[in-house]
Amino acid sequence: MKIAVFAGDGIGPEVTREAVRVLEALALPGLELIEGDVGGAAYKRHGHPLPQATLDIARECDAILFGAVGDPDCDNLERSLRPEQAILGLRKAMGFFANLRPARVFAGLEDFSALRPEVAGAIDLLIVRELNGDVYFGEKGIRKLEDGRRQGWDMMSYAEDEVRRIAHVGFKAAQGRAKPGEKGKLCSVDKANVLETSQLWRDVMIEVSADYPDVELSHMYVDNAAMQLVRNPGQFDVIVTGNLFGDILSDQASMCVGSIGLLASASLSEGTSGLYEPIHGSAPDIAGKGLANPMATILSAAMLLRHSLGFEAQAARIEAAVAKTLADGIRGGDLGGSFGTAAIGDAVLERL
């Protein structure tokens, strides 16, 4: 079993280091970790945010543990050389089309939410976001109109097979999370009152729902979903949506939870391979200071063990160790605490 470790920029290396310590502590037989460069760090060394050597490592490994990319030094580079291209390029090249972003409030941390504690406490949802299509990957450009004005344009589109495969991921996730004896709950978010792309999205969701009689499908317009997420987030279980809407709603959901340093994510392909990363960014302002909370990356490593390597018990052990660490009052600066990156790593390891 090979895991690629792409630490990236900013706080990426320090948070990834703690997750690697946790993986190593499990002493899984035959586990090999292979490091590669991504993002601004890769650009500075190799002239590209996603060098060929890194892609080769990604292809050779069973899964990728990813830190963060983003570097203010690279802000003025042309788009194709910016650090973000590493993550967009890996998603496309590796066929990581399904992004799972669970959001729930850890017991005792309700006060950190931007929402009232009793509203926040009810959050336990999963956003399933499509990652390979939509306006992100359509043709785009800035062109001159006949009258000389410049016009920026980005083409939004979804083919039905792209919608169908993410629909199946959403329905299966809803099935898996259903309480015994109850139906699963899947809410598909679109903008079908305005966009043709969304109309097709909705039609395909309805078609696919025929295969999942044990899941209740609902639909919501994205503007309403944004409102409902802050009004009554407890109503959601699984949300399935496109690339752009999912990008926005998942950041919003993370603030409803309150602690961006605790949320993990998985980006999955049709096989078992996947990329696992904290949802926070590279936080250049605190990079290298040992202040970042590594829990989101540690929890991402747990998702990696579960989804790509089939180590459910070990994943659950890591999650329990993180929950216990938090319950024992060990908190990073993101949660008003004073524990640094390595100290939090130590605390999780002790409990593990």
Other Cβ atoms closer than 10 A to 313: 9
Q: Does 68 bind ligand IPM (CB under 6 A)?
A: no
Q: Which is nearer to ligand IPM, 260 or 344 (CB)?
A: 260
C-alpha dihedral, 289 to 292 to 295 to 297, nearest 10°: -80
Q: Does 62 bind Mg ion (CB under 5 A)?
A: no
Site for ligand IPM in 237-256 (CB under 6 A): 247
Q: Does 268 bind ligand IPM (CB under 6 A)?
A: no
The stretch near ligand IPM (CB under 6 A) out of 5-13, 83-91, 204-212, 225-233 is 83-91
- The angle formed by the CA atoms of residues 95, 81 and 273, to the nearest 5 degrees, is 20
Residue 146: DSSP 8-state? T
Question: CA 239, CA 23: separation in Å to the nearest integer?
Answer: 30
Q: Does 87 bind ligand IPM (CB under 6 A)?
A: yes
Pairing relation of β-strands 274-278 and 264-268? antiparallel
Q: Which residues contact 180 (CB under 8 A, 6 or more apart)?
A: none
Least Cβ distance, residue 91 to ligand IPM (angstroms): 8
30: left (phi over 0), alpha (psi -120 to 50) or beta: left
Q: Which is nearer to Mg ion, 265 or 325 (CB)?
A: 265
Q: Does 247 bind Mg ion (CB under 5 A)?
A: yes
Pairing relation of β-strands 2-8 and 63-68? parallel
- Reduced to 3 states (helix: H, G, I; strand: E, B; else coil), residue 24 is helix
- Residue 22 partner contact from ligand IPM, Mg ion, none using kind-dependent CB cut-offs of 5 to 8 Å: none
Question: CA 33, CA 13: separation in Å to the nearest integer?
Answer: 14
- Reduced to 3 states (helix: H, G, I; strand: E, B; else coil), residue 221 is strand
Give the interface size with ligand IPM as a residue count (CB under 6 A): 4
Least Cβ distance, residue 243 to ligand IPM (angstroms): 7
- Residue 87 partner contact from ligand IPM, Mg ion, none using kind-dependent CB cut-offs of 5 to 8 Å: ligand IPM
Q: Does 124 bind Mg ion (CB under 5 A)?
A: no
Q: Which is nearer to Mg ion, 87 or 174 (CB)?
A: 87
Q: Does 84 bind ligand IPM (CB under 6 A)?
A: yes
Catalytic residues: 136, 191, 223, 247, 251
Q: Does 283 bind ligand IPM (CB under 6 A)?
A: no
The stretch near ligand IPM (CB under 6 A) out of 7-15, 82-90, 140-148, 213-221 is 82-90
- Residue 88 partner contact from ligand IPM, Mg ion, none using kind-dependent CB cut-offs of 5 to 8 Å: ligand IPM
Pairing relation of β-strands 124-130 and 140-144? unpaired
- Cβ pair 297, 118 in contact under 8 A: no
**Among positions 22, 41, 88, 220, the unique one binding ligand IPM when judged by CB under 6 A:** 88
- Reduced to 3 states (helix: H, G, I; strand: E, B; else coil), residue 225 is helix
Q: Which is nearer to Mg ion, 110 or 277 (CB)?
A: 277
Least Cβ distance, residue 99 to ligand IPM (angstroms): 7
Question: CA 142, CA 122: separation in Å to the nearest integer?
Answer: 44
Binding stretches for ligand IPM (CB under 6 A): 84, 87-88, 247
